[in-house]
Structure 1
Amino acid sequence: MSLNHSPETQTKLIARVPTITGRELPEWFQAIDNGPSFLRCDERANWLADEHGLTHGYAAAIVHEHERHRRNRMGFI
């Protein structure tokens, strides 16, 4: 997934997710896992933003973090 913002911005967005959204990252990851089976990350981010009222920046950051965790769980580098 291409990141539309710097790694520093990604880190700051992810750190603020619980405060801004009222939900922890594992809850968002579960929402993504249980949501529609989109192939593209931008589709997942758009769905997350539309379905849950997030800004696109936070939705994209959550999806990017979800992909990073998924790759780590599967043993990809």
Structure 2
Amino acid sequence: MSQVFSEETHRNLLARIPHCTGREVTDWLRAVEEGPALFNFEEKVSWLRHEHTLAYGHAKAIVHEYDLRRAARKLI
């Protein structure tokens, strides 16, 4: 997992995703979860962009958030 943006930029991008895409962030996180088993960050971003026609920054923010939440689940 890599830090893609500053924390503030990441949160701002996530806040704009529903308005820009018409779908909630949780829907996008579910799409990543249910998508192909890709291990590389950039592969996930590329898949999400091409499968769902997302902007590069939005796809990166979604995959980064997915990785953050997945890592948090492992700690529990």
Does TM-score exceed 0.5, indicating one fold? yes
Residue-pair matches, total: 76
List 4+ stretches of structure 1 deviating above 6 A: none
Counterpart residue identity of residue 59, structure 1: A
Q: Which has the higher contact order (CA 8 A, sep 6+)?
A: 2
Q: Provide structure 1 residue ranges, at least 5 long, that are not aligned to the other structure.
A: none
Counterpart residue identity of residue 24, structure 1: E
Aligned-residue RMSD, C-alpha: 1.3
Aligned-pair CA distance for 1:47: 0.5
Instruction: Please give the alpha-carbon distance, in whole angstroms, between the structure 1 residues aligned to 2:2 and 2:67.
Output: 11
The question of 1:44 aligning with 2:44 is answered yes
Q: When the two structures are superposed, what TM-score results if normalisation uses the length of structure 1? A: 0.89
Q: When the two structures are superposed, what TM-score results if normalisation uses the length of structure 2? A: 0.90
Question: Which residue number corresponds to residue 73 of structure 1?
Answer: 73
Percent identity over the alignment is: 42
Q: Provide structure 2 residue ranges, at least 5 long, that are not aligned to the other structure.
A: none
Instruction: Please give the alpha-carbon distance, in whole angstroms, between the structure 1 residues aligned to 2:21 and 2:69.
Output: 20
